[in-house]
Amino acid sequence: MADISEQKNTNGKILTGNVVSSKMQDTVVVLVKTYGQHPKYRKYFLRGKRYKVHDKGNTASIGDKVEIEECRPLSKEKKFVIVRNLSK
CATH code: domain of residue 74: 2.40.50.140
Residue 69 is assigned to a structural domain of this protein? yes
pLDDT averaged over consecutive 10-residue blocks of the chain (88 residues)? 51 94 96 96 96 95 96 96 92
Per the structure, the count of domains in the chain is: 1
pLDDT value of position 87: 86
- Widest distance between CA atoms in the chain: 56
**If residue 15 lies in a helix (H) or strand (E), which one and from where to where?**
strand 14-21
Residue 66 is assigned to a structural domain of this protein? yes
Residue 72 is assigned to a structural domain of this protein? yes
Residue 4 is assigned to a structural domain of this protein? no
Structural domain harbouring 78: 11-87
The reported pTM is 0.83
Residue 83 is assigned to a structural domain of this protein? yes
pLDDT value of position 9: 64
pLDDT value of position 12: 87
**If residue 66 lies in a helix (H) or strand (E), which one and from where to where?**
strand 65-70
Residue 6 is assigned to a structural domain of this protein? no
Residue 1 is assigned to a structural domain of this protein? no
Residue 32 is assigned to a structural domain of this protein? yes
Q: Residue 7, SS3?
A: helix
Which letter, b or e, does each residue of 30-45 get, where b requires 16 or more Cβ atoms within 10 Å of its Cβ?
bebeeeeeeeeeeeee
pLDDT value of position 10: 67
